[in-house]
DNA sequence: ATACTCTTACTTAACGTTCGTTAATGTTGG
DNA sequence: CCAACATTAACGAACGTTAAGTAAGAGTAT
């Protein structure tokens, strides 16, 4: 619900109704709405990054690991749209404390592996920026899904994680493959 | 205010206080909150795309136009953070009608020019997907600004539109520059 | 086995605040 | 004088939250 409607778009009564208990009963389990939200986020974000990091840290050439990363990342975003929405809402609404927490607890591991891969792929490039570019290249295709259908050339298959992965892999391979 | 806090995070009384009139007076100018929001959006989105389209449709080689597009797009996002935030909020919260309206009124022009450029750059590539990739490559650097400072290698200059533009241009040139 | 308490999980009812919105009423410049 | 623009006051609904009470189960002494 937070993924779909945002923090202030979901009331305690909405949640209670969805769970099947009274609104007051929620306060038996969570001290207040903010803590409920934080625990929901912590639950949604737990173990999401493990697969990504594993794909990046496995064996193989840098191009093979790049392809595995893109496959793993697109797969994650395709499988869990709520995770992606929560993430992007947090980027818009999260205060300093929450963003720092998410950065350290969720992003740090995979991001370090991504920068390491970035340095292998393009040593003359800023690894931080290249890592961000790789992630954005994937994420934006999911982020724009609801509007792309109204843009010329938009087809349902463009929302298929496999198709997105192939496109992104090809693009990045062209840039860094024959380095 | 809608860019910073979202639709349900801003009340009519908040707006009235910011404008310096009573909440009731707002209803002299707008029939209700939703229409006020829609007019605010329409205002924020007006003429935003003209510069992008111009950059894409000018003269020069495809690589030159690519560079001009990236410069123009990063400049726009750097100059008007509210526009970017509203755009991303709309992608999260916008219903079908609103998204279709934004797609046709704001995105269609530049997106068509982007797909045309994409076809020149990489005829064997899906132009729709490549256009999205070009946009995402730029936007994600702005979107992640608040969290990148907590990630390794993050430096303030990474938020500089010029630096972002140079990075993205180089990346895309590597992919499509040498045929 | 019965009666007792204690804890856990829940209920209904209500608190005070804020929400979007409307009604009725000034104020004011052309 | 009148249309435009503002005001104050209030409406009912929804908000987050709290208080007080209840039903069910576990553990334990009698």
* CATH class of this structure's domain A2-41: mainly alpha
Question: How large a percentage of chain A has pLDDT more than 90?
Answer: 98
**Confidence band of B118 (pLDDT split at 50, 70, 90):** very high
Chain A 94-123 residues whose Cβ is under 7 Å from strand C: none
Q: What is the CATH number of domain A47-176?
A: 1.10.357.10
Contact A126 B167 (CB under 8 A): yes
What is the rounded CA–CA span in Å between residue B92 and residue B86?
Answer: 10
Give pLDDT tens digits for A52-64: 999 999 999 999 9
Does any CB of chain A come closer than 8 Å to the CB of residue B89?
yes
Q: Above 90 in pLDDT, residue A35?
A: yes
Cβ of residue A144 closer than 8 Å to a chain B Cβ: yes
Sign of torsion, CA A117 A80 A139 A128? negative
State whether B150 and A94 contact (CB < 8 Å): no
Q: What is the pLDDT confidence band of residue B108, given thresholds at 50, 70 and 90?
A: very high
Give me the helices (H) in chain A, please: 2-5, 12-19, 23-29, 33-45, 50-57, 62-79, 81-93, 96-102, 108-121, 127-143, 145-148, 161-176
Q: What average pLDDT does the segment B124-134 reach?
A: 98
- The whole-number average pLDDT for the span B53-58 is 94
> Helices B62-79 and B161-176 sit at what angle, rounded to 10 degrees?
150
Query: Quick check: B152 pLDDT over 70?
Result: yes
Q: Is residue B147 less than 8 Å (CB to CB) from chain A?
A: yes
Same fold, A2-41 and A47-176: no
**Model confidence pLDDT, tens digit, residues A77-114:** 999 999 999 999 999 999 999 999 999 999 999 999 99
For residues A107 and A86, is the Cβ–Cβ distance under 8 A?
no
What is the C-alpha separation between B22 and B20, in angstroms, rounded? 7
Residue pointed to by tokens 């499988």:
A79
Q: Nearest by CB to B136, from A96, A122, A136: name it.
A: A136
Give the count of alpha carbons within 13 A of B74, CB side only: 23
CB-CB neighbors (< 8 A) of B89 in chain A: 92
Q: Is the CB of B34 under 7 A from strand C?
A: yes
Query: What was the pLDDT predicted at A177?
Result: 84
How many A-B residue pairs are in contact by the CB < 8 A criterion?
176
User: What's the whole-number mean pLDDT along residues B34-50?
Assistant: 96
Q: Residue A158: helix, strand or coil by DSSP?
A: helix
B120 CA – C18 C1', rounded, Å: 55
What is the distance in angstroms measured between the alpha-carbon CA of A11 and the sugar C1' of D24? 29
- Mean predicted confidence (pLDDT) in A154-174: 98
- Per-residue pLDDT, averaged over B3-26, amounts to 98
Specify the pLDDT at position B177: 84
Amino acid A122: pLDDT:
96
Question: Is the CB of residue A139 less than 8 Å away from at least one CB of chain B?
Answer: yes
User: Can you give the residue ranges of every domain in chain A?
Assistant: 2-41, 47-176
The average pLDDT across B37-43 equals 97
B26 touches strand D (CB under 7 A): no
Mean pLDDT, rounded, of chain A: 97
Judged against a pLDDT cut of 60, whether residue B179 lies above it is answered with: no
Q: Which two tokens stand for residue A12?
A: 């305690």
- Indicate the pLDDT class of residue B169, thresholds 50, 70 and 90: very high
């Amino acid at each position: 619900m937070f993924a779909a409607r945002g923090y202030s778009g979901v009331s305690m009564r909405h949640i209670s109704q969805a769970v099947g208990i009274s609104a007051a009963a929620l306060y038996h389990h969570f001290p207040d709405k903010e803590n409920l939200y934080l625990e929901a986020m912590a639950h949604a974000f737990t173990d999401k990054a493990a697969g990504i990091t594993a794909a990046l840290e496995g064996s193989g050439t840098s191009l093979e690991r790049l392809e595995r990363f893109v496959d793993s990342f697109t797969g994650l975003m395709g499988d869990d749209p709520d995770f992606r929405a929560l993430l992007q809402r947090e980027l818009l609404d999260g205060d300093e404390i929450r963003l720092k927490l998410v950065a350290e607890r969720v992003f740090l591991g995979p991001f370090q592996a991504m920068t390491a891969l970035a340095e292998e792929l393009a040593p003359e490039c800023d690894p931080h920026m290249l890592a961000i570019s790789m992630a954005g290249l994937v994420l934006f295709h999911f982020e724009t899904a609801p509007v792309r259908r109204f843009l010329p050339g938009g087809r349902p298959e463009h929302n298929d994680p496999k198709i997105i992965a192939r496109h992104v892999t090809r693009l990045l391979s062209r840039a860094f493959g024959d380095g």
